[in-house]
Amino acid sequence: MQDQGSDAVSMFDRHFLVERADNQSALQEAQRLRHQVFRLERGILPGHAQARLEADEFDHASHHVILRQRRSGQAVGTARLVVGGWQDGRIAGFPMLRYCASGMLRDLPMGTTAEISRFALSKVRRQGGACMDGLLRYGLMRGILRISLDLGLTHWCALMEPSLLRLLRVAGIDFAPLGPVVEAHGLRQPSAAAITRILADGAHRCPELYGFVAGAERTAWHRHWGSGAGHAFHGLAGDGVARADHGRLAQARVQAA
């Protein structure tokens, strides 16, 4: 069982590629996919179908991830990390604050916190059903984690669908609620997580899925921060033990092979 997480990482890397959108062309590819997902497929964001790009004022302060199929080169998913929570000496600059009071974030270290936002996976381009859907979402989190390491982040905040939070919890990525569920193009849960606590606890709680998401990044993270880092706002990342869904990952391997 100990090798299954490594097998999942190897399988994922054979079929998919997680890239950082570090130029204007790649950013526009992410924005086109967001338009496809949030406007055409789900109809949850305003705008015209002819616009072709879904963009907002937070994109310039964000680091973007693209998940693509290796064989076709098509973009399958995207997500972004929005940085810059401090503006003019106050908590601002996060998309979730359009719907939540800034006081929800008062215990987070804003200098090393980023918001996970625009988490999108196109149903038109993915194959394999619910199992593969979950695996691709975990793949996006690999990209988010990699960027977080590069930036020296310690915490994430997010306004997420409860179903996505449950899926991430299976892999040991446990977000704590910051307040009640809010209406933001559907019901969303304001949440936050201490990244180093996730990395410290995840391997013991659900090693198979955790190994897929964290991969080699967990070793690099601990080299960078050490075992004593990331304990500010210690209650985040959750104390309850999540149950790993080993069958989901095993079936995803078969479907992607």
142, 213 in Cβ contact below 8 A? yes
User: Is 252 in contact with 180 (CB distance < 8 Å)?
Assistant: no
Whichever domain contains 200, its CATH number is 3.40.630.30
Give the whole-angstrom CA distance, residue 208 versus residue 250: 10
Full domain range(s) for residue 79: 4-256
In angstroms, rounded to a whole number, what is the distance separating the alpha carbons of residues 163 and 108?
24
Each residue's pLDDT tens digit, 191-229 = 999 998 888 776 676 666 666 676 655 555 455 544 444
Is 245 a residue whose pLDDT tops 70? no
Give the whole-angstrom CA distance, residue 245 versus residue 37: 27
Q: How far apart are the first and last CA of the chain?
A: 19
pLDDT per residue as tens digits for the range 111-170? 899 999 999 998 855 555 556 677 788 889 989 998 998 999 999 999 999 988 998 887
Task: Look at residue 21 and tell me whether its pLDDT is greater than 90.
Answer: yes
H helices of the chain, where?
Answer: 4-15, 24-34, 129-151, 162-170, 195-205, 207-214, 217-225, 246-256
User: Is 97 a residue whose pLDDT tops 70?
Assistant: yes
Q: How many Å apart are CA 173 and CA 209, to the nearest integer? A: 10
Mean pLDDT of the chain: 77
pLDDT band at 6 (very low <50, low <70, confident <90, very high): low
- Residue 196 has a pLDDT of 84
Phi, psi of 91 (to 5 degrees): -75, 115
Phi, psi for residue 97 in degrees, rounded to 5: -75, -5
Structural domain count of the chain: 1
**Burial profile 116-143: b = 16 or more Cβ within 10 angstroms, e = fewer:** bbbbbbbeebbeeeebbbbbbbbbbbbb
